[in-house]
Chain A
C-alpha cells in the first residue's frame, strides 16, 4: 500500500501533500531538480492533469517519473480532457506502474487555459469519477468487466470551501466522501471564516473520521500572485485587505511568508484537519523554513518516528 494509504489507515498522524511543479519539456534530471525543494517534506505529491487547462507533460507520465525519482505520486485525474474510457485507462495504466494514489477532480474549464478553442469533454463529473475509481478498486470497469487483480487505489478528491454556494460546500464534500474519497485536498481559501465553517460542518457530521481534510496553502513572494489569483483563478477570491497587507508591507516577500505561515497555523488548529496540501510559488527555500517553523519534520524523519512507535508498541 502507498504511504498515503498507510497514513490514512493509521488515522492520527499528520499528512503533508504537495503540488508538484508541472514540466513542459526536458529530462528526468530537469524534473528531479524541480521537485527537489518541496519533495522532502511531502508524504505524496500531485502529478497534475493539465493544470488550469494548459497542456503539460501528462499526469501519468509525471506520476511514473516521480516514482523513479523516489517521490510518491498522487495521480490527479480531471474530467475536462478525456471521456470515461480514457480516464479508466489512465487510472489502470498508472496502477500497472504501481501508482495507487489518485485524486479525482471535475477540473477547470478549457476557457481557463491558453487553448480556449478546444473541445471540453466532461463526460463524467468529479463525484462520478470518484465512484468510478471505487468501482475499479472493487475490481471492475464501469461496464462491469473484471479488471483482473484490483489495484489498491487510495482515492481522494478536492473541494472548494470558499466558493458559492458556501452553505452547500460541506454537503458536496460529504457526497464525495460517500462516493469513496478518503482524503480531500481543499482549494486555497483566503477567507478563514469560510474554511472554519466548512471544516466544522464536516467534523460535526462525523465525516472527518472517514476522510482526511487537507486545506491548501500557496506560498507566494508578493502581492502580484495574490492579485492574479483573485482576478484570474476561477473560484478563488482574495480579500482586498489581504492583498493590501502584503502590498503595503515594508518587505512584501517577508509579509507574504508570514501570511502563509499564519494560514498553515490556522488550518492545523481546526478540529478535523489532518494535514496540509502545499503549493510553492516562491522557490526560494521557503518550504524548509515553513515546515521548520511549523514543527513539521521531513518525511524521512516522520517515517522513522512512526516506525519506532510501531516497534515500541
Chain B
C-alpha cells in the first residue's frame, strides 16, 4: 500500500468503514459505502431487505442501501447533482483496483475506465423518474 492509499485508508476507514475498492462512489450513494453491503451491491438494495429495514445477511445491521437512499435525500450540504446521481447505473467493480487509492484513481481517470463491452448510459437515463 502506497503512502497516498495508506493516508486515504486512515481517513476513510473510521468514517465510512472504507474497503479500499479504489473506485469510490460515496458521493453518489448518500455518503454510504456500498462495499459494506455483504453482497457488495453498487446499484441499490437487493430484494431481501427485512421489514424493519435491516439486512438479509446481517439482521443486526441496517441495510446499507436503505441508509444510502435516506441519506441521499436528507444529508445537508450535499451538492444537488450528487443526490441526482443516486439512481445512476454504476459499472462493475474493477477488481484490479482493490487496495489502491481512489483519490489517485480519480485524478488519473483510472476509476472511470470501464470494460469495452460496457455500453454507456443511454440518453434517456437522465430522465429516470419513476
Stretch from B11-19, B21-29, B39-47, B99-107 contacting the other chain: B39-47
Contact B65 A234 (CB under 8 A): no
- Chain B residues, CB < 8 A from A163: 45, 47-51
- CB within 8 A of A175: which of B43, B47, B69? B43
**What sequence of 0s and 1s flags, for each residue 76-114 of chain A, a beta carbon within 8 Å of any chain B beta carbon?**
000110001000000000000000000000101101100
Q: How far is the CA of A62 from the CA of B63 in the complex (A)?
A: 34
Q: How far is the CA of A174 from the CA of B122 in the complex (A)?
A: 13
- Chain B residues, CB < 8 A from A140: 116-117
Asked, given contacts A143-B117, A144-B115, A170-B130, whether A120 binds B49 with beta carbons under 8 Å apart, the answer is: no
Is B81 an interface residue, CB under 8 A from the partner? no
**Binding site secondary structure of chain B:** loop
* B contact residues, range: 35 or more
Contact A187 B40 (CB under 8 A): no
- CB within 8 A of B65: which of A112, A138, A165, A187? A165
Q: How far is the CA of A196 from the CA of B32 in the complex (A)?
A: 30
- Chain B residues, CB < 8 A from A141: 117
Is B125 an interface residue, CB under 8 A from the partner? yes
- Chain A residues, CB < 8 A from B49: 160, 163-165, 234-235
**What sequence of 0s and 1s flags, for each residue 106-131 of chain A, a beta carbon within 8 Å of any chain B beta carbon?**
10110110000000101111111001
**What sequence of 0s and 1s flags, for each residue 116-130 of chain B, a beta carbon within 8 Å of any chain A beta carbon?**
111101101100111
Q: How far is the CA of A19 from the CA of B63 in the complex (A)?
A: 28
Is B31 an interface residue, CB under 8 A from the partner? no
Contact B43 A234 (CB under 8 A): no
- CB within 8 A of A125: which of B43, B95, B116, B130? B43
- CB within 8 A of A179: which of B48, B65, B89, B92? B89
Asked, given contacts A84-B92, A165-B65, A178-B125, whether A122 binds B118 with beta carbons under 8 Å apart, the answer is: no
- Residues of B at under 8 Å CB distance from A? 38-53, 56-57, 63, 65-66, 69-70, 87, 89-93, 95, 115-119, 121-122, 124-125, 128-130
- Residues of A at under 8 Å CB distance from B? 79-80, 84, 106, 108-109, 111-112, 120, 122-128, 131-132, 134-135, 138, 140-145, 158-160, 163-165, 168, 170-175, 178-179, 187, 201-202, 205, 207, 234-235, 237
